[in-house]
Every structure is written in C-alpha cells, then in structure tokens.
Amino acid sequence: MSRVLLTGATGFIGRSLSVELPEKGFEVIAAVRRLSDFLPETVQQVVVGDLASETDWSKALTAVSIAIHTAARVHVMTDTAADPLAEFRRVNLDGTMNFAKQAAAAGVKRFIFLSSIKVNGESTWPGRPFTADDSHAPRDPYGVSKSETEQALLDLSAKTGMEVVIIRPVLVYGPEVKANFLNMMRWLSSGVPLPLGAVHNKRSLVSLDNLVDLIITCINHPAAANQVFLASDGDDLSTTELLQRLSLSLGKPVRLIPVPVGILRTVAKLLGKYDVAQRLIGSLQVDITKTQKLLNWQPPVSVNEALQKTALAFLQQKRN
C-alpha cells in the first residue's frame, strides 16, 4: 500500500482527496496546521504548522512515497498585503520548496503539485486555448508565485531524481464551492434577473470529481513523471450557457437579460469592477489533449452531472 502525504487536506480539494484516497487503497497522512474534526478517521493527521520556509516536515514524511501538495496562499480579488508578491512567494515558493527539498531527502518518489492556470495567463482568444507547453505568462502575484514554484520544482527534480507532476486546473467547482461560483448560484436561486443573456465567450471549468480523479491518476502513472498537465471538464461553456444549465439544476426559471457585452464592459469600468466582469464575459479555454493522450484519461463526470451535484449540495445547505 502506497503511503501518501497530503497537504491542504482541510481545503476544498484536499477534503475530497482525503475521502477518495483511502477508498482507492492508499494510506493517507494529512499534514495539518492543527488537528481537525472534519477529516475522515481513515486519515492520520500530523501537525506541522504553517507552510513556511522553516517548517519541519520530518514527522509527516516518515515512509512516504507520494506527496500531494494542495496547500497554498490562494488568490483573492482584494489583497490587503503591503507587498502581495512577497507574501505569495513566502508561502507558495519558499514554503513549498522547503517542503519539497525535505520530501526529496526523505526518499519521496513523486511530488504532485497543484498549480494554477494563472501560470498560463488570464484570458484566451476564441479558438486559441492555452496548452500545457505554452510559455509562462502570469499576470498577477499569485500566478507569478505558482510559475516560479513550478520551475523550482522541476530544477529540484533534475538535481535529486524525485519525480514532479504539475497540474494546472481552471476554475474548480463542486459541492461546497465558494467565491464567484457560489455567488452565481445565490443570484439564480433568488430569481433576480441577470444582464448576462448575450455573453458568447468560452470558459473551461473543472469539476471537483474530475480534478480529484486526475490527481489520483497521476500518483502511479509512469507517463506523468516530470510533466505539466492542464485540467478541465473538456466541455467549454459560455457564461450564458453556464447560467442556463445551473438554473435547470437548481430548478429555477432562467431570468437572463441579453445586454450587449460592450455595455457590460463599460459599466464595469465605471463601477471599478472590470476584473470581476472579465471573469464573467471574457474567455479562458484550455486544451487538455496532452492530459488525455499521455495519461489515457477522460473526465469521468460530465458537466451536467457535476453541475447537478453542485446545485443539489447548495440547495441542501440552503435548507439546513
């Protein structure tokens, strides 16, 4: 039985992994800041503290062959740090590399790093999706920190022989999703009309189930070693299509007003909400052909199934 060390186990993606990994036959060690009641009993918790350059990982790394690193300082729309890039580097670069170096020294065979599509950039032109082998073009401090960490990990792999697998997901959704996706469900559930009925962009999404399945696939797949993979559902939607499908899953009538995108951009600029609007009306597509071919992998859950599961969890939480 492979012994897997999981970081970020109490997070959105980590919690799902902490359930799925034991069911797949893996022995799971969760490196946590503090003991948690939210993790299954099948997971052994080891307190290591924060993800930092001075953290001692020795207790958690005992007899571990695989490390799955999902912990990070995450992107936020409004960052209050005096120097956001320095803060992202302190955690995402320095903290991760301290962990990775100790993992390599402890004999970890494979280090799976959850990165971000922000390493590729913020948007794509129609019909020109990002690929895994594109040059890095991060546009914000979070993306820069992830980009720098990817390169540092590959350099470490070349020096130590520890295999590195890098996965860059797009927006991840699923039960208990937060942020903008949760806001969309709240808008639709309330029945408020939305001016998003004429948005013909294309955006790639990845359901939590599909991302977790891909991560688990990368644990033992020989072709995954020292590769970069993009993660999506393989079915891109416009914002209008996404809202229509979510409304159906929520059992709510669609109330979308077809306001031209040019007007939406102008209003968003006037309100100082251009970045928020861009995530709704701009395009961001990824090509997962490399992921599919190299790993012989297909997203096991369809977009409609994943949206329905997400909506049902939202409605259940709302009732409670």
Report which of 46, 40, 39 is spatially closest to residue 63, judged by C-alpha positions. Answer: 46
Comparing C-alpha atoms, which of 80, 272, 311, 33 is closest to residue 177?
A: 311
Residue with tokens 């409605």: 315
Other beta carbons less than 10 A from residue 214's beta carbon: 24
Tokens of 315: 């409605």
DSSP state of 169: E
Q: 99, 107, 120: which is closest to 8 by C-alpha? A: 99
| DSSP 8-state assignment for residue 50 | S
* Cβ-based neighbour number of residue 212 at 10 Å: 23
Can you count the helices (H) and strands (E) in the chain?
A: 11, 9
**Residues acting as catalytic residues:** 142
Task: State which amino acid sits at residue 108.
Answer: V
Give the SS3 label for residue 30.
strand
Task: Tell me if 12 sits within 8 A of 6, measured CB to CB.
Answer: no
Can you tell me the distance from the alpha carbon of 256 to that of 146, in angstroms, rounded to the nearest whole number? 36
Q: How many CA atoms lie within 13 A of 308 on its CB side?
A: 6
124 dihedral zone (left: phi>0; alpha: psi -120 to 50; beta): beta
Give the span between the Cα atoms of 118 and 146, in whole angstroms: 8
